[in-house]
Structure 1
Amino acid sequence: MSDNALSGSGASARVTVVGSLNMDLVARAPRLPMPGETLAGHAFAQVPGGKGGNQAVAAARLGAHVTMIGCVGNDPNGAILKASLEAEGIDCAALATSPDAPTGVALIIVDDASQNAIVIVAGSNAQVSPASVHAQEAMLARADVIVCQLETPPETVRAALEAGRRLARTTILNPAPAASALPADWFALIDYLIPNELEAATLSGIDIATPDDARRAALALKAKGARNVVITLGAQGVFALLDGDDAGQHMPSPKVEAVDTTAAGDTFIGGFAAELARGSAVADAIAFGQRAAALAVTREGAQPSIPHRGEIAA
């Protein structure tokens, strides 16, 4: 990471997201079904989503100029997703269209306690390749912050992180979904590793129920080579173990009445990335992301719930 990577301010702050775009098919039900069980749902909605798309929209609404590297299918869902990004002012010049793979979809059930269960079918997201990243070297060089997740192929994520390191850009990895440990040589490429408590447990081997558990997991992940580790803990807030701080800090979340937690983590990451690109101190960027996520969970849907910068209290 270079000082240039944190030199953005206001509209000049630039975030590039390398990641997934899905059409979310969302059903609301009294509770999550058991295996083999059929439940009657309350409502259904079809809305743009995908972790990459959500984080791009969040960063754009929360103060950054955003570019998107990804892939949609040559189908109605793909056209809708591209149009929705462009409506947010996101640069889609690097958004490819697959001639043979359908646009990715996510099947989401949200229960009356605002918890969710999600199944993702990658579709065209699987065609985001290292070559897709290499072709956008100039775009990546202009970014203040590069954001990745794990809903595109691992070799593509690695290529994006390597490009960020080579170009001295700030890199953020949201390791979601985390089915197994990250390759050991990835950690040195990551400036900010931002898992939730379940992902952090998978990556560290430490079960997390409290902020103190999160501290132990963060220490284990930082020991692997990540420069900064920020573990999101849902209603319990965030535990941040930052460069030069061996103790870490628990930052409680604003208290709100949650309606739907679907895009909370993506909103946090988009807000954090935007604020970091604008030149804010890391702790201030974390707090800004928390305020944005707290507002998002009071609304239904993924991208529809993401707030705009003017809605976030100082």
Structure 2
Amino acid sequence: MTKSILCVGALTLDTIFRLDAQPQKAGKYLPDDALQIAAGMASSAAAAIARLGGHAVLWASAGADATGERVVRELEAEGVDCSHVRRLQGARTAFSSILVDSSGERVIVPFYDPRLAGPAQSVPPVDASGFAAVLVDVRWPWAAEIALKAARKAGIAGILDADTAPVELLEQLLPLASHIAASEPAAASVTATADPRECVRILADQYDVFTAVTAGADGCYWAERAGMPVRHVEGFRVEAVDTLAAGDVFHGAFALGVAEGRGMTEAICFANAAAAIKCARFGGRAGSPRRDEVTAFMETGRISA
């Protein structure tokens, strides 16, 4: 039986608008394109894993409402196991409005019902017989802590997608991970330096685990653990259309690489390629590639239509 990756955290309905430029003043703006899609950090990573040929299980919270029904159906259609998505009576499923400009940059306005972040009555059984890795984001801290502790007890990879969050929350979760994969802003907020190479050194020395900091088009900086050299895997150059969900696709692809036993350089290169392809396509996680597309892109540098 193929082992799964448990993805823990955010589940939202994203409404994405493509504009020539970000609005600078109040008014009405007509987009060039738009779509709605089930997303969220952990959910987008799970969908990316499924498209890349892996098996993803999602542990997230949604309201017992029509939006929750919709996002679960969409992710199940992608091949994500949503049997552990809890539906809360009286809570609203999270949603976001997102503006993407012609350079691919975005403005995100999310709403998370606070009730979605509360403790769950049931927890997925995390053990080495069923799961190869756990990937958590920072949007459901209670579940992230439970899942990372369970991964450590089971002796499997516990990967933390350390994105922008209060420093005290990051410092709560960082010691629990076996693999830290942080965004530049999150790493800078914890280490008080904007140099990604120095961020990696500080975090790796402090927590003595695999540590990576993603740097957009510049690729990824990483170290095996404390005292080890900081290495760099270059990013792939593409014309950016939409950077939304690129980090989620990176983390999903990286988690799959770890679960498959790839070396760290190979896993990061694979994740960089998947994220680059996504950036060349509008629609947030809708631009997530299949495995054959990533393989072809790594070999040829060309993205299939």
- Residue 290 (structure 2) aligns with: 308
1:290 Cα offset (Å): 0.7
- Residue 271 (structure 1) aligns with: 253
Identity %: 28
Paired with 1:186 and 1:280, the residues of 2 have a C-alpha distance of: 25
Q: What amino acid is the match of 1:220? A: I
Paired with 1:63 and 1:204, the residues of 2 have a C-alpha distance of: 36
1:187 Cα offset (Å): 2.9
1:162 Cα offset (Å): 1.3
Count of residues in Structure 1 that have an aligned counterpart in Structure 2:
295
With over 3 angstroms needed to count, the CA separation of the structure-2 counterparts of 1:86 and 1:252, relative to structure 1, is same
Determine if the alignment matches structure 1 residue 70 to structure 2 residue 60.
yes
Paired with 2:93 and 2:173, the residues of 1 have a C-alpha distance of: 28
Q: Kindly report which structure 2 residues correspond to 1:169-248, keeping only aligned pairs within 5 A, or say none.
A: 169-182=156-169, 184=171, 186-207=173-194, 213-225=195-207, 227-243=209-225, 246-248=228-230
With over 3 angstroms needed to count, the CA separation of the structure-2 counterparts of 1:24 and 1:166, relative to structure 1, is same
Contact 2:9-2:137 within 8 A present in 1 as well: yes
TM-score (norm 1): 0.87
- Residue 105 (structure 1) aligns with: 95
Identify unmatched segments of 5+ residues in structure 2.
299-305
Contact 1:104-1:120 within 8 A present in 2 as well: yes
Paired with 2:117 and 2:250, the residues of 1 have a C-alpha distance of: 24
Match of 1:41 among 30, 33, 57: 30
CA deviations over 1:97-128 (Å, ceiling 9, x no partner): 1111111001211111110111211137x425
Q: What amino acid is the match of 1:127? A: L
| Partner SS state of residue 44, structure 1 | strand
With over 3 angstroms needed to count, the CA separation of the structure-2 counterparts of 1:112 and 1:179, relative to structure 1, is farther
1:303 Cα offset (Å): 2.1
TM-score (norm 2): 0.90
- Residue 116 (structure 2) aligns with: 127
Paired with 1:101 and 1:311, the residues of 2 have a C-alpha distance of: 39
With over 3 angstroms needed to count, the CA separation of the structure-2 counterparts of 1:83 and 1:232, relative to structure 1, is same
| Partner SS state of residue 195, structure 1 | strand
Paired with 1:67 and 1:39, the residues of 2 have a C-alpha distance of: 40
1:262 Cα offset (Å): 0.2
Contact 2:208-2:226 within 8 A present in 1 as well: no
| Partner SS state of residue 109, structure 2 | strand
Match of 2:134 among 146, 149, 159: 146
**Aligned-CA RMSD value:** 2.1
Paired with 2:5 and 2:11, the residues of 1 have a C-alpha distance of: 16
With over 3 angstroms needed to count, the CA separation of the structure-2 counterparts of 1:143 and 1:130, relative to structure 1, is farther
Paired with 2:47 and 2:272, the residues of 1 have a C-alpha distance of: 16
Determine if the alignment matches structure 1 residue 27 to structure 2 residue 17.
yes
Contact 1:105-1:120 within 8 A present in 2 as well: yes
With over 3 angstroms needed to count, the CA separation of the structure-2 counterparts of 1:19 and 1:254, relative to structure 1, is same
